[in-house]
C-alpha cells in the first residue's frame, strides 16, 4: 500500500488512530522534559471516545483532538518548503488532500463539542534569517535539509499540540529551542545547549509516530519508512 490510502480518512472514527499517535508523541516528549500537565488527557480514552461518540468528549479532550488534527493538517506544506523542489512537487498534492480531510474531521469534532482551536502557523525558510541569510544557504543534501525541516517544524508543532493538551511548556524554552535549532542546523552554531539538545532528542522520536501511523493504517509505505529512518538516525545522534 501507499500513503494514498490516507485519502479515505473521512470521519472522527477514522482519525482515532491518527490522534492516538499524535497524543502519544506529545506525551512522550513532555514526560521526557518533565513538563507539568502531562496527565490532563488520557489519550487512549480519548481515542476510544472519538471512535464511538465524539460529542461525548470533554472540552479539554476535544481541544486535544482538534489540536492534533489541525497541527497535522497544516504541517506538510511548511515542511516541504524546506525541502528540494522535486520533493515538494511530489509530496504537496497528497498533503493538500490530507489537509482537507483532517480539517474537515477537526471541524466536525469542534462543532460537536463547542470548542475553538486555531491552526498553528509553522515556519518556512522565507520567514527566517540566520546571521543575516537564509537558513538554507549553508545546507546541502537531502538528508541535511530533511533534518533541518523536521527540527524546526516539530518544535512549533509540539508547542501547539502541547498547549491544546493543557501541558505547561515554558515559552522561553520554545523560543530558545527554535533559535538554537535554526542556527545549529544552518551550520552557524557549533552545538546545542544541553537542555535544547535533550528537547530535540525527544522531538526526533517522531520516528515512532511515523511507524505508529504506518502500522495503524496498513500503509507499508516506502516514504514513511524513509522518514522513520532519517528521524531515528538523528534522534540517536543527539542521544
From first to last of the 239 residues of the chain, give the pLDDT tens digit: 456 678 889 999 999 999 999 999 999 999 999 999 999 999 999 999 999 999 999 999 999 999 999 999 999 999 999 999 999 999 999 999 999 999 999 999 999 999 999 999 999 999 999 999 999 998 989 999 999 999 999 999 999 999 999 999 999 999 999 999 999 999 999 999 999 999 999 999 999 999 999 999 999 999 999 999 999 999 999 99
Question: Is there a contact between 53 and 26 (Cβ–Cβ < 8 Å)?
Answer: no
Q: What span, in angstroms and rounded, lies between the C-alpha atoms of 223 and 218?
A: 13
Question: Is there a contact between 193 and 92 (Cβ–Cβ < 8 Å)?
Answer: no
β-sheet bridge partners, residue 36: 168
pLDDT at 8: 85
The beta-strand segments (E) located in 42-184 are none
Element (H, E) at 45: helix 43-52
Nearest residue to 79 (alpha-carbon basis) of 2, 10, 149, 172: 149
Helix, strand counts (H, E) of the chain: 10, 0
Taking the complete model, does pTM exceed 0.85, yes or no?
Answer: yes
pLDDT at 1: 42
Q: What span, in angstroms and rounded, lies between the C-alpha atoms of 53 and 11?
A: 11
pLDDT at 7: 82
Q: b/e for 216-232, b at 16 or more Cβ within 10 A? A: ebebebeebeebbebbb
Question: Is there a contact between 94 and 3 (Cβ–Cβ < 8 Å)?
Answer: yes
Backbone angles phi, psi at 157, to 5 degrees: -60, -45
pLDDT at 3: 67
Question: Is there a contact between 26 and 161 (Cβ–Cβ < 8 Å)?
Answer: yes
Nearest residue to 28 (alpha-carbon basis) of 180, 177, 174, 235: 235
Residues recorded for the chain: 239
- Give the sign of the dihedral formed by CA 162, CA 223, CA 208, CA 21: positive
β-sheet bridge partners, residue 130: 133
Amino acid at each position: 500500500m501507499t500513503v494514498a490510502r490516507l485519502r479515505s480518512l473521512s470521519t472522527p472514527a477514522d482519525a482515532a488512530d491518527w490522534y492516538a499517535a499524535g497524543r502519544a508523541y506529545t506525551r512522550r516528549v513532555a514526560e521526557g522534559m518533565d513538563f507539568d500537565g502531562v496527565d490532563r488527557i488520557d489519550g487512549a480514552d480519548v481515542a476510544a471516545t472519538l471512535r464511538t461518540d465524539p460529542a461525548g468528549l470533554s472540552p479539554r479532550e476535544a481541544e486535544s483532538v482538534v489540536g492534533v488534527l489541525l497541527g497535522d493538517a497544516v504541517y506538510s506544506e511548511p515542511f516541504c518548503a524546506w525541502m528540494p523542489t522535486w520533493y515538494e512537487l511530489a509530496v504537496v498534492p497528497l498533503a493538500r488532500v490530507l489537509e482537507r480531510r483532517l480539517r474537515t474531521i477537526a471541524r466536525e469534532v469542534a462543532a460537536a463539542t463547542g470548542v475553538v482551536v486555531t491552526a498553528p502557523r509553522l515556519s518556512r525558510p522565507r520567514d527566517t534569517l540566520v546571521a543575516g541569510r537564509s537558513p538554507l544557504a549553508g545546507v546541502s543534501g537531502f538528508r541535511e535539509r530533511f533534518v533541518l525541516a523536521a527540527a524546526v517544524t516539530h518544535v512549533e508543532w509540539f508547542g501547539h499540540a502541547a498547549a491544546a493538551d493543557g501541558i505547561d511548556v515554558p515559552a522561553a524554552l520554545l523560543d530558545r529551542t527554535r533559535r538554537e535549532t535554526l542556527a545549529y542546523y544552518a551550520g552557524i552554531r557549533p552545538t546545542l545547549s544541553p537542555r535544547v539538545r535533550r528537547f530535540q532528542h525527544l522531538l526526533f522520536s517522531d520516528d515512532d509516530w511515523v511507524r505508529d501511523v504506518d502500522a495503524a493504517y496498513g500503509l507499508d509505505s516506502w516514504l514513511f519508512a524513509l522518514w522513520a529512518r532519517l528521524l531515528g538516525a538523528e534522534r540517536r545522534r543527539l542521544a
